[in-house]
Amino acid sequence: MNEYTPLARIKQIGVGLAFLLYPLFAGIAFAVHPNLLSLGISHDVNEKIAEFHGNSLLHFGHVLMLLGAPLLIVIAVHLMNLMEKKAGWWGFLGGLLAVFGALILAADKGALCLVPSAFDTLPEADFRSLAPGIAAMFQYRGWLWLLWLLPILPLGFILQTLGLVRSNLIPRWQSIPMLVGSLLMANPDIDLVGLVATIFLAIGFFPYAFQLFRSANSRSEK
């Protein structure tokens, strides 16, 4: 039997932290959006500018979402390994899509969130002169068209959580909320739906994270 090393324990705790922190980061990021209760979808650039301009709390929320991208990669790879023997194709294909989608998420938050936060530091007259560039950015001009691939992220987790539900690798009272959360992640950029999706993910992720912590501690004591 393979020895459970201190490094293995640290890795397991790290994975547990990823499951614990992602819903917290994403939940805060969605909750600080203005007009959270609105179900409307606006593509008007002036409305987007009004949303982020001078809103330091929103910029902080976007930073948290950016930090959530590597956590999603850790989660996707863990689920891929967990499902290798019993639901291998679900885990593998879903994991590939989820990892690629997490990279697109990081690019999205970098381009459309961190860059506007830099614009926000300029004097008002200089900021207003950037309006055409901001419009091009939010219209996904140039290579920003790649950000249209962001739905690959929830698709990957939908496949992985479907595999979890089918295989019973974890209790269904955890895997089904994970699946519901992943399905709700595939919404057309409605912040309230994104917050609800994060709550469902938390219902599944949090107890699984604590199971990883308990397992790491109990195995290290043997």
167-199: buried (b, 16+ CB within 10 Å) or exposed (e) per residue? bebbeeebbbbbbbbbbbbbbeebbbbbbbbbb
Model confidence over 4-17: pLDDT tens digits?
A: 788 889 999 999 99
- Separation of alpha carbons 154 and 58, rounded Å: 23
Q: Residue 222 has what pLDDT?
A: 57
- Separation of alpha carbons 160 and 99, rounded Å: 12
Q: Residue 5 has what pLDDT?
A: 84
Q: pTM for this one?
A: 0.93
Per run of 10 residues, the mean pLDDT along the chain (length 222 residues) is 77 96 97 87 84 93 96 98 93 97 96 93 93 93 96 97 96 97 92 96 97 85 58
Q: How many angstroms separate the Cα of 99 from the Cα of each of 30, 105, 205?
A: 21, 10, 18
Domain extents in the chain = 6-220
Q: Residue 26 has what pLDDT?
A: 97
Q: Residue 96 has what pLDDT?
A: 97
- Separation of alpha carbons 170 and 68, rounded Å: 23
Report the run of H or E that residue 213 belongs to, with start and end: helix 191-220
- Separation of alpha carbons 191 and 169, rounded Å: 31
Q: Residue 45 has what pLDDT?
A: 86
Q: Residue 150 has what pLDDT?
A: 96
CB neighbours of residue 17 within 10 Å: 15
Q: Residue 163 has what pLDDT?
A: 96
Please give the structure tokens belonging to residue 170: 């974890």
